[in-house]
Each structure stands twice: as C-alpha cells, then as structure tokens.
A and B are shown apart, each in its own frame.
Chain A
Amino acid sequence: AAGVIQSPRHLIKEKRETATLKCYPIPRHDTVYWYQQGPGQDPQFLISFYEKMQSDKGSIPDRFSAQQFSDYHSELNMSSLELGDSALYFCASSSRDSPNYGYTFGSGTRLTVV
C-alpha cells in the first residue's frame, strides 16, 4: 500500500540558506500536516492543509511557509535557515472518511543546518 512519501530524506544546508521539503500524501487523503521534531523532543505541529486550504497553524516561524498544490502534494519552504532549525520534519496525511481518523506519517526529512 502507498504510504506518505517525503523528500529528500536528508538535507544539509548552511545558515541563511533556503530549503524546500516535499510531501506526497496517501492518495485520496484530504489533509496534510507538517511537524518538526528536534533532538530528544516531541513532534511539534507546524501547519496543516485541508483540501488545499490552510487549516490550522501551530508554532511555525515566519521564515517558513507551506502550501498544498492541486495534486495534493505539499511543500514546506524554509528561508534564512538557522542552526536551531536542524530537526526531523515529518509530514502526515489523513482523510475525514477514514473510519478511525487514521494518520499516516512519512519517514521524515532530516535537516541539518551547519
């Protein structure tokens, strides 16, 4: 069965550079979520999209932006990168039609800012 696909798996950037993370949700899932997980920390909600519209916003810095495209894939754009942005970034998708409100997570993108 298809899962949530994230790319790239690993990314190394220098301070002040820009990074773009991509997420391809499970087909027919209508909601995409982005989470950030620092070393030894719990996942922190960043932002979500429902049917290509922003649904909810968490602790996402102003330097970050995200969007969901017509094919339902989503991109997280991160500018003016800081050392503290080094983390695992997870994307998850879900569907309101899922009987158990199931959330499926991708394997994550590990971003290292040097």
Chain B
Amino acid sequence: SQQGEEDPQALSIQEGENATMNCSYKTSINNLQWYRQNSGRGLVHLILIRSNEREKHSGRLRVTLDTSKKSSSLLITASRAADTASYFCATVTKGLTGGGNKLTFGTGTQLKVEL
C-alpha cells in the first residue's frame, strides 16, 4: 500500500475553475511535498509544507496540512489548460541511516483542464 493516497484519481474541470486534490498518508512525516508530472515526463517539485505548518501558498497554489488527520490538500486556483498533468503528493520519512530522507509517493491525481 502507498504512504500517500490521492483523491480523486482523476479530475476534469473547465479553465478558470479551481481544482482541489486531497492526499492521505499513514505514518509520521517530516514534511509533505506536491509534485507535478506531465505525461511521461519528469517530476517537478511544486511546494513543500513542513509538519509544523498548517497552510502554505505559492502563486496559484495553496496547500494545507492536517497532521491530526494525516491529510493534505492542494488547491490550484484559476486553472489553465497548461495545468493539465498528474499531481502527486509525497511524504518524507527518515532513511535508515538518518542521512537520506526518502520520498514516498501517493498514487496521483490526473487533472485535465479543458478550454
């Protein structure tokens, strides 16, 4: 099973609308990150929220984190066709040696923004 599970798995909206994606995780985390991936391409880091933060903004992105519910949400406001991509949440847990903090990805939400 995955550390992070996204909801919904697929989302289709019209340009200009807001898109909200949710993520749940199971274990204690250092931080939670959101990534974007265009089809078959690399993963692009969008935003990071630390475990002691509740909300963070970056441009049209707003991320919330509820550690009591082990959940996070990503809101994209005023969506554009170029926002069409898969969005993954990823949690950071400590590596065995404490030196490398590995990312564990959820299953992703496929967002389609239509004109």
Contact = CB atoms under 8 A, between A and B. Distances in A.
Contacts, number: 78
B109 to A, nearest CB: 11
A56 B100 contact: yes
Interface string A97-114: 000111111111010000
Contact of B99 (A96, A102, A108): A96
A55 B75 CA distance: 34
Interface size class of B (residues with CB under 8 A): 20 to 34
A17 interface: no
Interface residues of A, number: 33
A33 interface: yes
B43 interface: yes
A51 B99 contact: yes
Contacts of B95: 48, 50, 55-56
Interface of A: 30-31, 33, 35, 41-45, 48-51, 53, 55-58, 88, 90, 92, 94, 96, 100-108, 110
